[in-house]
């Protein structure tokens, strides 16, 4: 079953994570996972620059090592960055020791206390360990499904517009796998958000 908006019962069951924010104004938080990637991340950055908005990029350490110039551009243009492990580890298929070491390896390249688990897969116990390392686990309230092949982007875009509200954290992917769908959905979504008075912000924790 495809759940675009994470239901409250899942949020309560999976504690210790940030799923969205309580906001006083109309802030909405765009996030991008799996980059940086040539062409894709640059396209996203160009779009954000055009609209003068900020976002948060959860970067894979191996990709940061391969593409330091794109990573530097993310930072230079005022966006936030987060740790998405070094090698895009699945916590359900990796030992606790190896997973935490992979996060540490990524942190040598990614200076951030924001962490997002690849695939969204992580146990409550592991969340506790990661928070004890000084990190915050950032999930999402709205999933774009841009990674799905044969996605009906027109229908999905309507769902994203309907489900998003102030405080929402949306996840897209700056990866080649998602690029086709991303190009079809993201520009229209941003333009719609601006008509609704949404203020697209990067994630900043106090």
40 falls within a domain: yes
pLDDT of residue 165: 97
pTM above 0.85, yes or no: yes
46 falls within a domain: yes
Annotation marks residue 173 as catalytic: yes
Number of domains composing the chain: 1
101 falls within a domain: yes
Annotation marks residue 79 as catalytic: no
194 falls within a domain: yes
206 falls within a domain: no
Q: What is the pLDDT of residues 104-136, one digit of tens each?
A: 999 999 999 999 999 999 999 999 999 999 999
Q: 33, 42, 146, 174: which is the annotated catalytic residue?
A: 33
2 falls within a domain: no
pLDDT of residue 8: 82
Residue 106: both structure tokens together = 């990524």
CA pair distance 57, 75, nearest whole angstrom:
10
3 falls within a domain: no
Give me the domain span that covers residue 98: 19-200
Name the DSSP letter for residue 119.
G
SS3 sequence of the chain: CCCCECCHHHHHHCCCEECCCCCCCCEEEEEEECCCCCCHHHHHHHHHHHHCCCCEEEECHHHHHHCHHHHHHHHHCCCEEEECCCCCCCHHHCCHHHHHHHHHHHHCCCCCCEECCHHHCCCHHHHHHHHHCCCEEECCCEECCCCCCCCCHHHHHHHHHHHCCCCCEEEEECCHHHHHHHHHHHHHHHHHHHHCCCEECCCCCC
Query: For residue 135, what is the domain's CATH number?
Result: 3.20.20.370
Average pLDDT over residues 170-179: 98
Q: 67, 79, 84, 173: which is the annotated catalytic residue?
A: 173
4 falls within a domain: no
């Amino acid at each position: 079953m495809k759940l675009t908006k994470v239901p409250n019962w899942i949020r309560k069951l999976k504690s210790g994570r940030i799923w969205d924010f309580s906001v006083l104004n109309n802030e909405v938080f765009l996030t991008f996972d799996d980059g940086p990637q040539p062409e894709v991340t640059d396209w996203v950055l160009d779009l954000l620059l055009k609209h003068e908005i900020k976002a948060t990029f959860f970067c894979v350490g191996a990709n940061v090592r391969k593409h330091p110039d794109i990573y530097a551009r993310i930072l230079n243009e005022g966006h936030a960055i987060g740790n998405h492990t070094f090698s895009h580890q699945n916590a359900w298929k990796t030992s606790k020791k190896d997973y935490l070491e992979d996060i540490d390896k990524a942190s040598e390249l990614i200076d951030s206390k924001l962490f997002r688990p690849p695939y969204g897969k992580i146990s409550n116990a592991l969340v506790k360990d990661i928070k004890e390392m000084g990190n915050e686990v950032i999930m999402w309230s709205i999933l774009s499904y841009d990674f799905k092949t044969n996605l009906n982007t027109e229908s999905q875009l309507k769902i994203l517009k309907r489900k998003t509200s102030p405080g929402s954290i949306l996840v897209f992917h700056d990866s080649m796998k998602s690029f086709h769908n991303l190009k079809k959905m993201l520009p229209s979504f941003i333009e719609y958000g601006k008509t609704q008075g949404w203020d697209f912000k990067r994630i900043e924790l106090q």
